Every structure is written in structure tokens, then in C-alpha cells.
Structure 1
């Protein structure tokens, strides 16, 4: 239930209002204790994060809760002013700009996106049907997440060498497999194209548009595309899903899809504006972002607006992940309560469930992973599994055995250890991936089954030896 301003007509009404405030204060204290316990457990007991900065918001104010460290090297504690990569939450910035340009009648959501593209960017069509800006904003363009070239890049910083020319060449030769608007497929390319369209229409760099339309009006002085050198002492070190320190990412041309950096304090200002706890110059844009939606699939109640994902008709959210960071922000439509979580460890299981639980306590927290009993696989059997397996046209998995331990490497970009569950099944709990080796009728290893949280992929064996 939304909280409305009350006109105090008598001492009686004033008493009720004061009583209500004490109830809200008590509720906020309980909420704070609950959130603190959860993130302490997530870091100290489950070891799924190195450091977490969390912000809770509601019409009565913001609460900041922090735990963990910026880096294992210096043990500097996380604060509300620690700087994190926010990953795909950057897409919400881009879609706010899109909504504002629609309000200003500079572009039309349902017009072909090609109408607004710079000359070097030519979008593919399918059977004469063009991709619209609405298709791009709702991930219904038919474009994949990233150009295949990224799978050949160093995993430590995969976007750094992707150029606008690379993107233009990819689009020039890409053939859509289905009609635009037909189905949901998450696409970093799509949001990047929105950024390029906005630049072209406004005649200003995308970064400047974010600064003038979003950051300045909302008082967000600690959000950057590139972290200033004199702020590096507050820039958290990132850790991958296995807890190994990794480099910061440079998104380059993909900045609109995932390249921004911020703090919990600054992002709480953005969250307050998005939930419209109070009126801001961007309130009409945030409303517009939720007024145009599409279903994500036919099996759930998930919808997507302009960037934002909407669950249960009530929770509005978006998450993000880079090589060393995880993030999520969201709020409830009914009471405007919101949450923001920034973590300096990349893990699908590090923060998302916490945010959803804090927004709705009926959403369960993920149970700590069960301890996997040790299973010894004979060395001769392990060596049979070695080789290269094809996941997709440009994605291959190398299975390696070192000191009787099995590792999997994706496109030569760094290996992850998989623990044996049985003689032919292995799992990497931190990655939430299970693999299973299968044989043909003659007993030879034929392919690898990859299970990523229920998404099953069959990877045929290419060679018995890694090249």
C-alpha cells in the first residue's frame, strides 16, 4: 500500500501520525538487522562474496549496511562510498535516457531503430521487418548478447578491444534467426545500439547525456564511466566466482550496456528517484519505462519494460555482473521500498536472492551449497575425458587433467576446477554448473552435457587432445 501525505487536522490525527512513524522506525530497525545478518553470513560463513555494500530505501529514509573488505590485500573495509562496477544496471541509465528522449518527442519508441542510427551502423532485418527501439529496449530484437569475437578475447577484460567498427561489421553480416519482436533474448548489443542512437539524435556523447540528464539532476557526483585516478583508493578489487582477484573491466563501446561505476550512497539516490519516493525531474521518464512492457516468456509472470524487469506485478528490478563484481537494485510498486546491493565478487548466487528476499520475505534465500562428498575417479578414466568440446559455433571447452584433478577452460580463457560427483559427472558449485560425459555405442566419449542452472547444452567432442 502506498503511503500518502496526510493533512493534519487535529491533535488526534497528529497522534496517529506519530504512532505510525514509530511503527515505521521499528520496522526499519528489524529490516536492518535482518539484512545485516544475511550479508555477514553470505561473506563470513558461505564465502560467496568478499565485500557487500547494501542500501535499503523507503519513504522514511535510507539505511546503509556494509560488510567485508575492498581487497584481501589491504583489508580495507567496505563502506557506502566504496566504488564498484555496476554491470548491467548501466542498462537502466541508458533506458532512462531513451524514455526522456521519447517524452521530449525527439524519437519514437515504435519507429525503426535504423532511423536514429549513425551512418556506419546498419541493422539487420528479417523478411522485411525492422528492429524498433522498443525491440532493443525489451531484448526482443533477435540480436545475440555479444559479437562472437568476444569469446576470443582475454577473459580478464573481454570487452576492452571491441571497437565500434567490430560492432558495425558484425551487424553487417549477421542474419536474424527470427522476426524482431518475436521472442526475448538478452542482448548487450541491443542496449549498446540504443546508446549509439541517442548519441546520434542528441549530437552529444552518450557519457555527456548520462551526466546532464541523470547524474547532475539527481545529485549523483560519485558515478563515472571511468573511475578518476584520485578515487582509486576507494575502488574495490574484483574477484571472480572462485574468489580469485581479477582485473577491472573496460566496456568501451559497450558502456551503455554495462560500463558504469558507482557507490551504494550514490546509487541509493538513483533508486529513490526510480521508485519515485519523491518527485524528481526524471519521474515522468521512470513512469514511462513501466508503461510499455512485454512478457519475457509464457511460463512465468516476468515482464520487461524499458530496461526494468517486473516480477509478480509488483517488484521492479535489474541486476548486473562483470568479471569481478555483482549488483542488483529494485523496488516494490506498492510501498516504494527498495534495495540496492553491490558486491566485489562475480557470482550468480552472491546477491540476487538477498535482494528479492528483502523486497518480499516469501522469496527464499538460497540454501548454502551442500558439501559434496569426495569421489575418487581413476586416473585412466579422467584422461579419457580430456579433449576439446564444441559448445557453440565460436565457443569451445577444453577439458584438462592436472595432478588427478579435472579442469574446464572456455576458449582458452582461464580454467575452473570441477569436482567429481560420480565417475562421469562433475560439478563446480561456485559457477552453478554441472557437466556429464557421455559415450557412444562403442564406448568412446562422444559429447559433454553442460547443465547451467537447468539450461542444458550438448557439446560434441571435437578432438581428444587440446591444441
Structure 2
């Protein structure tokens, strides 16, 4: 699936064109901007203190799946009185029904576990938020600094380190499982050679690299794997036995298969090198334990760490959006505060969010790569609107000769770690974004193509001699240019 290449985001995807592990990509800023609008009369009439009924929740997820905007959705609701409700609709992609014990990749929601682990280590006196990350990376020959300011653990946890979203030495051998061959040492090597382009702590920039580096540093301090680290500090204390990096046999049996926009099954993602950015898998029932602990940390075994993670520490370009330790903290147009994160891998999109004041929250897990952020936010605060189904424009396909199609064949760079590889097979042209499946491009006119699996178009650009030099990806009202590099 093609997705837009945003400047920031909360899914672990390359972008919103993505590594779909960012979570996923411009989901943070784009999602927050979509909400930071004037309240409507209709929404203002909704009493947020009244939880959505079971029938209303079922209707939302049924409509989403029946409209083919998702293959399957599982939801966990935590009501203000502490009651939990679970819902599921759609297919798991296997003979097993989709339910609250179905296993999903949660993508960048993993970042909140990494940050909570950091907070717990601070509480226990193992580290300090202001410690330079270099202190815990003995394998790094150099960690960049700027104007005398070193990158600290809290800079990484608040997405303000100055490190880029993705490292430029990220070159997947397997596009269907793009992180599988990227190692911790490669991440450290990239950081060692990277020159910061702005001051540390100056700006928010969502970075899978930064959060992955935080996970590496903390795990190396304790001499364990990332999974062992997060189990010790978060999962085991909360009794989360169904949340792991590596599938247990039982989790594998209950796996909900991931799907692309066209409904096809896609590969799971393995993320050994940047595990702290998006490697966890979980279930609705397990995530409800995590949600309950965050909503009411006073009754959780990790009270000091959870409370520390929720403190606003850094702003963004959106005045309504701030960062805690990994958590995004949104002030809605209605004055409520929504603490949330989303996630996304190749075939999954996920959301967790809660309202501290109302002691309520939601987990939404989907085994498709279409965003469920609006669903999650609406379930937390019904005044926040659901996004309408995209309007499809009728397009007429034309046939271009193979020799014309050959002009477009090449490798196009939209970002340092995100390319679109264009190939020809017979009389058809195909595009394959980094970390995504190959999809056919249909000609609408010479130099202009469209996709059928998702509402996106590609326009190829030429120089004065008629040679193709680049492309522009059009999607969701945004334009993402790419230079032809070979």
C-alpha cells in the first residue's frame, strides 16, 4: 500500500509512506491537526461523561469492516467505573474467530513501553533522565552533540534528540519484512557518523531511530535483550503474559494475520535492531491491563513510573499537542486531555488512548493497514468525529506501449530510507515502496498513473530533453516528490 510521506508521525512507518512501523507516520501531527478544530454544535451536545453503548461501538467497527476499510477490528473499552468491555468484528485471516485474545502487532505503541521502562529505571535509581545516551552505548565510537549539548535519555524519549526519523543505512533485503536484517550495530554505526542539523532538544521530530536507540541503550545497561528488559520492568509487574517481541507457540496459534488495503495477507515484521521502536505483539485483553494501569496508576505496581511518563515535557508545532515520555498528550477543542499513541506495521494499525480526568480509555487493534486513530479517539471522547470514508474519483485507464512504460522504470528516492521501485512486466507498470508489496500502476495519460488498491496517484516529471527525472506521489491532499536515483 502507498501511504504519504509526512514529516512526523506516530506509527512506526518510514513515513506515512512508510516503514509501516511508523507506527507507523504523519499520524501524530496530521491526526492532532484534524482534531484541533472548532467544536461543532452537534458534537458539543454529546455528553462525554456518558460512555458509548455496546450497540454504538459495534456499529462503528461493523461499518468500518463492512466498508472494507479494515479486515478485522478488536476493541477494549475501559469505563470510568473500572468495568471493561471487549468487541471484535471481521476476520482474523485464519479459521480462528477474531476475539480479545487474538494477537496483533502493535507497532509504535511499543514506544510507550520503552519509555515506561526508562521511567521505572529512573525510579529504581539505575539511570537519570538527563544522562547522556553515550554513557550507555560503549560500542559507539561517537554520539553526536551540538553546541556543547549531548543527546540525553529524555531527549530520545520525547522525540527531540535531533536524530532523523530513519537511518540512511537502512536497506532492507526483504521488502515484505523490512526491519528483519537491520541490526543494533548498524543503528549505532549510523548514529556514530551522523551530524546533527539542529540543536538537541530544540524541536520535536518523530524518530524510530531515536526510540530504537533508547531501547538498545537501556537493554545493554542491564545486559539483556529488549524483550527481557521490558518484561522485567513493565510486562511481568502488570501480569501481561501475552505481550512479547517473539511469538510464543500460543500467541502464534492466535495470530490475526495482517492485511493490506486490498485485503491481501502480508508478512509479519521482525524488528531486532530497533525493537524499542515497534517490535511488540499483544492482545486486547493484555493491552487492557496496560491501559488500566495507565488510567489509574495509583492502583498499579508501577505507579511512580507511569505517572512520570505522563508528565508534559516537550511541545510540538501544534500548540494542542505535547509529549510526555513517548506519549502524545492532546488538548481537544472541548478542553479534555487525551493521552495516546498509535502504531502500524505492514498489515496492522493500532491505537491506545485515555482521558485521565474521566478514568476511561480504549485500545483498538486492527489487522489492516488503514488508520484507526479516529475510531480510538471517538471512543474515548464521542465528541471527536469519525473520519468519513474516502471519496473515490472515477478514473479511466488507457494503454501505453511497453517502450513508453520503460521510460518510467527506475528507483525513486522520496526520503533517505524510503524509495519506490518502478518496474515493468509485460504491458503493466508496477511500483513497490520500501517495506510494502508491489502494486500495479494504471496509466490515465502519459506521465500520469493511478492506483486501484488505494486512492493515490503518481505523476512522473521530465527534464527539457524528455528524460524522466522524478515522480510525485499524490495522496490525502499531500504531494511527496521523489528523485530518480537509478
TM-score class normalised by the smaller sequence: 0.7 to 0.9
Report the alpha carbon displacement of residue 417 of structure 1 after superposing the two structures with TM.
2.9
Report the alpha carbon displacement of residue 144 of structure 1 after superposing the two structures with TM.
2.0
- Structure 1 residues 247-396: aligned runs within 5 Å: 247-276=267-296, 279-297=299-317, 299-312=318-331, 314-347=337-370, 349=371, 351-380=372-401, 384-393=407-416, 395-396=418-419
TM score, norm. by length of structure 2:
0.81
Does 285-294 or 449-458 show the bigger shift?
449-458
Report the alpha carbon displacement of residue 429 of structure 1 after superposing the two structures with TM.
7.0
- TM-aligned CA distance change 1:165 to 1:213, over 3 Å: closer
**2:176, 2:435 within 8 Å by CA — same for their partners in 1?**
no
Residue 436 (str. 1) matches residue 459 (str. 2): yes
Report the alpha carbon displacement of residue 389 of structure 1 after superposing the two structures with TM.
2.9
C-alpha distance in 2 between matches for 1:279 and 1:320: 27
Residue 115 (str. 1) matches residue 135 (str. 2): yes
Q: 1:451 aligns with which of 468, 474, 478?
A: 474
Say which structure is richer in helix.
1
> Paired residues, what number?
432
Report the alpha carbon displacement of residue 306 of structure 1 after superposing the two structures with TM.
0.3
**1:140, 1:181 within 8 Å by CA — same for their partners in 2?**
yes
* Equivalent residue number for residue 34 of structure 1: 56
Report the alpha carbon displacement of residue 319 of structure 1 after superposing the two structures with TM.
0.6
Report the alpha carbon displacement of residue 384 of structure 1 after superposing the two structures with TM.
4.8
* Larger Rg computed on CA atoms: 1
Q: Unpaired runs of 5+ in structure 2? A: 1-46
SS for the counterpart of 2:98 is coil
- TM-aligned CA distance change 1:120 to 1:400, over 3 Å: closer
C-alpha distance in 1 between matches for 2:272 and 2:408: 38
SS for the counterpart of 2:170 is helix
C-alpha distance in 1 between matches for 2:265 and 2:250: 22
SS for the counterpart of 1:114 is helix
Report the alpha carbon displacement of residue 376 of structure 1 after superposing the two structures with TM.
2.7
Report the alpha carbon displacement of residue 385 of structure 1 after superposing the two structures with TM.
3.9
1:352-409 CA-to-partner distances (Å, cap 9, x unmatched) read: 1111122222322222122331313341465654444332456443334556554312
SS for the counterpart of 1:218 is coil
TM score, norm. by length of structure 1:
0.84
1:276-335 CA-to-partner distances (Å, cap 9, x unmatched) read: 1761121221221122421121x4411111010011160000011111211110011221
Q: 1:47 aligns with which of 68, 71, 88?
A: 68
- TM-aligned CA distance change 1:83 to 1:413, over 3 Å: closer
SS for the counterpart of 2:270 is coil
* Equivalent residue number for residue 115 of structure 2: 95
SS for the counterpart of 2:150 is coil
* Equivalent residue number for residue 430 of structure 2: 407
- TM-aligned CA distance change 1:121 to 1:62, over 3 Å: farther
Report the alpha carbon displacement of residue 416 of structure 1 after superposing the two structures with TM.
2.0
- TM-aligned CA distance change 1:193 to 1:383, over 3 Å: closer
**2:110, 2:278 within 8 Å by CA — same for their partners in 1?**
yes
Does 211-220 or 35-44 show the bigger shift?
211-220
C-alpha distance in 2 between matches for 1:340 and 1:237: 18
- TM-aligned CA distance change 1:266 to 1:123, over 3 Å: same
1:424-453 CA-to-partner distances (Å, cap 9, x unmatched) read: 544447556432233445555443122354
* Equivalent residue number for residue 211 of structure 2: 191
C-alpha distance in 1 between matches for 2:90 and 2:314: 38
Residue 219 (str. 1) matches residue 242 (str. 2): no
C-alpha distance in 1 between matches for 2:432 and 2:376: 31
- TM-aligned CA distance change 1:309 to 1:393, over 3 Å: closer
**1:99, 1:288 within 8 Å by CA — same for their partners in 2?**
yes
RMSD over aligned Cα atoms? 2.7
